[in-house]
A = this chain, B = another copy of it.
Amino acid sequence: MAQSFHPPQRTLMGPGPSDVSPRVLEAMARPTLGHLDPVFVEFMDHLKELLQFAFQTENPLTMPISGPGSVGMETCFVNLVEPGDTVVICVNGVFGGRMKEIVVRSGATAVVVEDDWGRAVDPAKVEQALKDHPEAKILAFVHAETSTGARSDAEALVGLAHAHDCLAIVDAVTSLGGIPVLVDEWTFDAVYSGSQKCLSCTPGLSPVSFSPLAVETIKRRKTPVQSWFMDTNLVMGYWGTNQKRSYHHTAPINALYGLHEALVILEEEGLEAAWARHQKHHLALRAGFEAMGLGLAVPEAERLPQLNVVHVPEGVDEARVRGRLLEDYQLEVGAGLGALAGKVWRIGLMGHSCNLRNVLTCVGAFETVLASEGAAVETGVAEAAALTAFAG
């Protein structure tokens, strides 16, 4: 006979999910409502307003997709891309590569602009690709590459897209809530995020927002959207940009309670304060690692405060270190991926995980484990360095 599952209490400092506030977990355990209950329908309006706040947008088509971030990504592409279209895709990590796969499956042509993993997207290359492909309809890129910790200049890239009459699709999975994501000011056309990064909700939901121009583009499609579930023409009916709500699918009610509470917490703190908190703790974490003698992999101007990519010291088995951190310290950090596998750790400071207690636990645990693994690191200095940086 199966038993109830009681997970251990980890400290989540990987690339997401991040630590979830007890307030969010408690909200998820509130009584389930029917998805057509008038009280729930009113709740949906409040949730939409909070998402508009988080995205800094007045886009009416702003809603949480009932699936993880990869469904948010696919929703943006399959609605805006038609067979035969050309899409310029910036690939500087795992998620740009996924965009390409989705575009190809949509029957469109993907023009790939490649940059090194761990570096920002280079606007000069993008401009060249847009010049070389005047037929391009869309530019797509990842604002904050979860796989590498690199931050690209979203405002500049979207500006290039519009200068070349392209729509811009932006992956803000890891950026939203951690660094500025100004959807209206920077004129994104479609943007998606995830619930489990800097919003610190549980995984499984993907906030999205479409500009009025994107909505027009979707309405003028010549071919039907290939996915019934992801067809925003249908989802719009449920999320109420039309006058009357019509049933599309059964929303994940309790997960939405959690997202709502996470956004209430973000609004209470304020976006600017949340961005400043991520920066402040990033500097403390960095100081701790640098005191140990470990450097960060991404050039300073392109670093994400919420995802710190740290070089693995020579001769150290990175997987073994991660295993010990998890087992002995209940601390989860992420491995490097692709070209960075075995060479870096990815250390998240996202949302509710971004606090001094976690910074100190992390640098302390790394210091102890690395020393016992025989790595050439300075010991007894990391916590003090982090505290000094934190105090400013």
The docked-state distance in angstroms from the alpha carbon of A225 to that of B226 is: 11
Per the 8 Å Cβ criterion, residues 26-53 of A in contact with B are 26-40, 43, 46, 49-50
Please name all residues of chain B whose beta carbon is closer than 8 Å to the beta carbon of A33 when the two chains form the complex.
7-8, 10, 17
Contact B257 A255 (CB under 8 A): no
Please name 9 pairs of A and B residues whose Cβ atoms are closer than 8 Å in the assembled complex, sorted by A: A2-B263, A8-B31, A20-B32, A25-B32, A70-B228, A78-B227, A98-B228, A202-B254, A255-B255
Q: Does A212 contact B (CB under 8 A)?
A: no
Contact A2 B227 (CB under 8 A): no
Please name all residues of chain B whose beta carbon is closer than 8 Å to the beta carbon of A70 when the two chains form the complex.
228-229, 248-250
Beyond A5-B257, A12-B34, whether A66 also contacts B229 by CB under 8 A is: no
- Closest Cβ of chain B to A320, distance in Å, is 14
17 further A-B pairs in the complex, CB-CB below 8 A; given A69-B250, A203-B250? A2-B50, A4-B264, A7-B32, A12-B34, A20-B254, A25-B28, A25-B31, A28-B28, A67-B229, A68-B249, A71-B249, A105-B228, A106-B226, A202-B254, A203-B252, A227-B227, A252-B255
The docked-state distance in angstroms from the alpha carbon of A65 to that of B194 is: 17
Beyond A29-B28, A228-B105, A253-B202, whether A37 also contacts B66 by CB under 8 A is: no
**Total count of chain A residues near the partner, CB < 8 A:** 81
- How does the 8 Å CB contact mask read for A62-87 relative to B, with 1 for contact and 0 for none? 00001111110010001000000000
Interface centre among A5, A101, A102 (most CB of B within 10 A): A5
Contact A202 B252 (CB under 8 A): yes
Query: Chain A binding site: helix, strand, loop or mixed by DSSP?
Result: loop
Please name all residues of chain B whose beta carbon is closer than 8 Å to the beta carbon of A101 when the two chains form the complex.
228
- Closest Cβ of chain B to A301, distance in Å, is 28
- Closest Cβ of chain B to A307, distance in Å, is 14
Beyond A10-B34, A71-B67, whether A43 also contacts B253 by CB under 8 A is: no
Contact B203 A253 (CB under 8 A): yes
Q: Does A372 contact B (CB under 8 A)?
A: no
Beyond A14-B34, A66-B68, whether A7 also contacts B39 by CB under 8 A is: yes
Contact A7 B40 (CB under 8 A): yes
Can you name the residue of chain B whose Cβ is closest to the Cβ of A75? B229
The docked-state distance in angstroms from the alpha carbon of A92 to that of B296 is: 61
Q: Does A268 contact B (CB under 8 A)?
A: yes
Interface centre among A12, A39, A205, A229 (most CB of B within 10 A): A229
Contact A29 B25 (CB under 8 A): yes
Beyond A17-B35, A268-B1, whether A105 also contacts B225 by CB under 8 A is: yes
Interface centre among A10, A12, A251, A252 (most CB of B within 10 A): A252
Q: Does A178 contact B (CB under 8 A)?
A: no
- How does the 8 Å CB contact mask read for A1-23 relative to B, with 1 for contact and 0 for none? 11111111110101011011001
- How does the 8 Å CB contact mask read for A239-251 relative to B, with 1 for contact and 0 for none? 0000000001111
Q: Which of B10, B28, B46 contacts A31 (CB 8 A)?
A: B10
Please name all residues of chain B whose beta carbon is closer than 8 Å to the beta carbon of A293 when the two chains form the complex.
none
Contact B254 A8 (CB under 8 A): no
Contact A255 B204 (CB under 8 A): yes
Contact B7 A257 (CB under 8 A): yes
Contact B19 A224 (CB under 8 A): no
Contact B267 A1 (CB under 8 A): yes
Q: Does A326 contact B (CB under 8 A)?
A: yes
Can you name the residue of chain B whose Cβ is closest to the Cβ of A23? B4
